[in-house]
Structure 1
């Protein structure tokens, strides 16, 4: 684009400028014009005057120049000019200009010369091309220090009393880069948000702030923790032009409200002070806000190995102590208990987490190892640490001893044998063998008291003069005050551990007043339990699973079908002395999960992988499956090599790659399950497989 104007009053010019050093710069930023980044002249303003036929041109959008020139066919009077001029923004200075120039000055005579120059208010003429000085043209990239200038101009002008003869006089510029200085920092005018809360424990915390600036505008913010600036500068959304290299003299807003979020995972847990530092476009000038206290709690507490104290014997109390717990206040401690074989295998939950640090050792732990798990919880989550199976009460291979190991054995002691039948009193349903179960015998070790009567624990009878109760909340057989003499004696233990898929043959004898009761119908029910808690599952119904009829000797046999952990309930009735009498006995089945799998190979080389694919049977799986571990035997212990979860239908696939086998050797491997404390089955293990690895 070219503009031609008539005679206009002449513009006084500074033909020669003062040379001065650059001013100190607090911070700078850049504005670009007439180039690929910004194909416009932007805030440059054109002007002209003097003789007719002066021109200014803008061909930037076509890849051309921002230009000023004289008509080469006519002479021009002294004072004729054409220029493009850029003024610095308020509270800034222009300190440097770069461009690709094409200057031409072929017009001169005595006392009359044409010039193409760059000049500024601070330095006057900075550079130029003048025919009288031997310059007919200059082309190429250049950079100029403009001092601390309020404005800069690319100028074509004529000097000398005789004016300038006809000739080419042009000042062409493109790819212009203007550097501006800004030494005034922003002002933070307000802060608000969750980052200013002293009580929140959220990981990501936001802050809304307001700020004002003089100069190039507000660009970004950085968080300040304990006086130290944190991370990189955050862009606060000042708009499309808000960049260190922009297309405007004031690229960013002078007043701005914005929000920023701090991920406190970048800050150590503990108490700190927080603030923000707001920067202007120079990214050098910044102002720190007032500080406030914060507490960071993203990580769970650290802790050492808990310890167990006490005697590892059935009926005794073990106490767990959490050690070296380091967390943010408040920190709570809970304790759960696990049980495992002496070699560490078949690890399973014995008691779920609770605030109690004590455990009364149950009968089922005989010959086992007991492990305490300390659960330390603060706002950052929960950490878990397990006690050693080879330290404290379980050092030197020790396991849980039977109840009577080391206890008194006098006739009246729980571990004594009042009737000499080689069954300790605590396990004998009738210590003195007087026919009256201990539960209803006021003197269980004295055969002379009371009159003969029979109703073993776990049996409930109802009828004349008797009472009845259902199962307790723990699912244990109820106590009774019945004296009817109707008894179903189940052969073997009342609590049995079985593998899933196995049917259990049960033999029992029904007697009335110590006489076999023939042709009696026994109805058999089951009711689901939670084996890890030894409690009846909430809302579980009693479900009839079959019936049996006693033979002439009062005996009955029933094959209990497969299923989950449950109580099996036997209900029966008889006529005694013309009165209807009923009774109930219970048998508890603790079912272990069954795992079946096979490896994809039994022989492989170091660097190769083995994959175990299989299924877990034992009842309905949770939606997210059950945790399973691939383990390898190391001495007397099992070491976890890989872990995963089953699908909702019990399928699993575990893979392990051997990388450290430097000689041929064989490994014993298996898969074990880790069900939740609410599962209908106990932990189980697959068949042990031998995997051979060559070098």
Structure 2
């Protein structure tokens, strides 16, 4: 491979120009940015339905993408990803190039996955405890952008034996005057409403499809209502609250319960923190349960060791990724060239979320002012959404 002489901004080369060097490159890492979400079609299959689920079930859907291609189907139970499956391997191209690395979005090809793919995702429900849950099925592209295919929908997982209630002892027939009186239209009155017919709803400002995005450090106000089978508000009803961190193998935390007012309404102020799924429940049964998925953008800082330096000198880029689970996360420092952000250096954070990397300027032959930012991408064990730091500027003299 033959290379010439240039800088970040396409600066000129000194002397007579032409080829300045000849170099053989055996390997290189490039960071490609893709901000578009995949677009899923209508799903089919037993898994894309409410009700009771048993054994291994599947969902089939088609999805398209405009950037890196359709990568994986993701199944979330109660807000936590529990299963991921590649939609179409694309001849082996649509697969993580470094499986031993914690970053699953590393590929050999620029567009590793198909821009339109149809596939089936299978899920073994026996890996989830029996009982009421909430399921969401998403499609993910090769850059980590997601779109919802199905849900979030309340379901019941039932793989164990169903316990039947003991038969009641026979009793003599009631006298005629004890029979259920007829209704005005001549039909028996309906039996009392069961707990499963209770309707519980919750929402937050700006929420869409039970999901709301929030900036780091902000509290999220959530409001909701609960109504009985007749549609009447239930005043004084107890609402149980649990929160679940959006990382694998997280455990739900029970919060202080709240009580509805006279109009059957309740309010809950979620404290500032990482991305979480907040679940509100009344009694037992999936119909008396609802969740809000709160996605919080990461807070990332960037500091430059110098504001001005000469060509041939090095700059140090450092900062902090705030919040829990911030250790061992990948942070990229980028420079803007024209209208595109290009990589400068990358580093992994320490246990306290701190990072640092260096870059030596060697090809700036006229006074140039560069603009930098730090960016954290979506990572499986990071309970925050992708974000970037404020921009910093550095002047390089020839």
| Mapped partners of 1:357, 1:554: distance in 2 | 48
Which is worse superposed, 544-553 or 585-594? 544-553
Say if 1:581 and 1:358 are closer, same or farther in 2 by CA, change over 3 A: closer
Partner Cα distance (2:214, 2:288) in 1: 26
- Of 98, 107, 110 in structure 2, the residue corresponding to residue 384 of structure 1 is 107
**Which has the bigger relative contact order, CA under 8 A and spacing at least 6?**
2
Q: Is the 8 A contact 2:198 2:226 kept in 1?
A: no
How do residues 383-532 of structure 1 correspond to structure 2 at under 5 angstroms? 384-388=107-111, 469-472=132-135, 476-479=152-155, 484-491=197-204, 492-493=207-208, 494-512=210-228, 513-530=230-247
Residue matched to 1:357:
88
Aligned in 2, Cα 1:358/1:392: closer, same or farther, shift over 3 Å? closer
* 1:313 alignment partner in structure 2: 39
User: Contact 1:573 / 1:581 at 8 angstroms: preserved in 2?
Assistant: no
Query: Match for 2:350 among 637, 647, 668?
Result: 647
Distance (Å, rounded) in 2 between the aligned partners of 1:658 and 1:511 = 66
Cα offsets for 1:640-671 (capped at 9, x unmatched): 11112111111111222222222333222111
Shift of the 375–569 alpha-carbon distance from structure 1 to 2, 3 Å rule, reads closer
In the alignment, structure 1 residue 629 sits paired with structure 2 residue 305? no
Whether 1:660 and 2:363 are equivalent positions in the alignment is yes
Give the TM-score, by structure 1 length: 0.32
Please give the secondary structure, in 1, of the residue aligned with 2:258: strand
**Pair 312,508 (structure 1): closer, same or farther in 2 beyond 3 Å:** closer
CA distance in 2 between partners of 1:612 and 1:658 (Å): 13
- Structure 1 Cα separation of the partners of residues 98 and 396 of structure 2: 43
SS of 1:357's equivalent in the other structure is coil
Q: Distance in 2 between matches of 1:639 and 1:581?
A: 48
TM-score, with structure 2 as normaliser: 0.53
Do the aligned partners of residues 640 and 516 (structure 1) sit closer, same or farther apart at CA in structure 2, a change above 3 Å counting?
Answer: same
Query: Structure 1 pair 355/621, CA: closer, same or farther in 2 (3 Å)?
Result: same
Give the 3 Å change call, closer, same or farther, for CA 314–667 of structure 1 in structure 2: farther
Greater Rg over alpha carbons, structure: 1
Q: In the aligned structure 2, how far is the partner of 1:473 from the partner of 1:356?
A: 17
Residues 216 and 272 in structure 2, CA contact (< 8 A), matched pair in contact too: yes
Shift of 1:568: 0.6
Partner of 1:552: 262
Name the residue aligned to 1:590: 295
Distance 1:632 1:352 in 2: 36
- Structure (1/2) with the larger strand percentage: 1
SS of equivalent to 2:107 = strand
Listed one character per residue, the Cα deviations across residues 244-278 of structure 1 (whole Å, up to 9, x for unaligned) are xxxxxxxxxxxxxxxxxxxxxxxxxxxxxxxxxxx
Give the CA deviation at 1:619.
1.8
- Report what 2:55 is aligned to: none
Q: How far did residue 630 of structure 1 move? A: 1.0
**Which runs of no fewer than 5 residues in structure 2 stay unpaired?**
1-25, 29-36, 42-61, 74-80, 117-130, 138-150, 157-193
* Secondary structure at 1:385 match in 2: coil
Equivalent runs, 1:95-494 vs 2, <5 Å: 313-315=39-41, 316-318=62-64, 336=71, 356-357=87-88, 374-375=95-96, 384-388=107-111, 469-472=132-135, 476-479=152-155, 484-491=197-204, 492-493=207-208, 494=210
Measured against aligned partners, the alpha-carbon deviations of 1:486-515 in whole angstroms (never above 9, x if no partner) come to: 332424321223344332111222333333
Aligned-residue Cα RMSD (Å) equals 4.6
Contact 1:668 1:690 (8 Å CA) reproduced: yes
* 1:594 shift after superposition: 1.8
Which residue of structure 1 aligns with residue 322 of structure 2? Answer: 617
1:478/1:590 Cα in 2 relative to 1: closer, same or farther (>3 Å)?
Answer: same
C-alpha change, 1:626 and 1:582, in structure 2 (3 Å) is closer
Change (3 A) 1:607 1:375: same
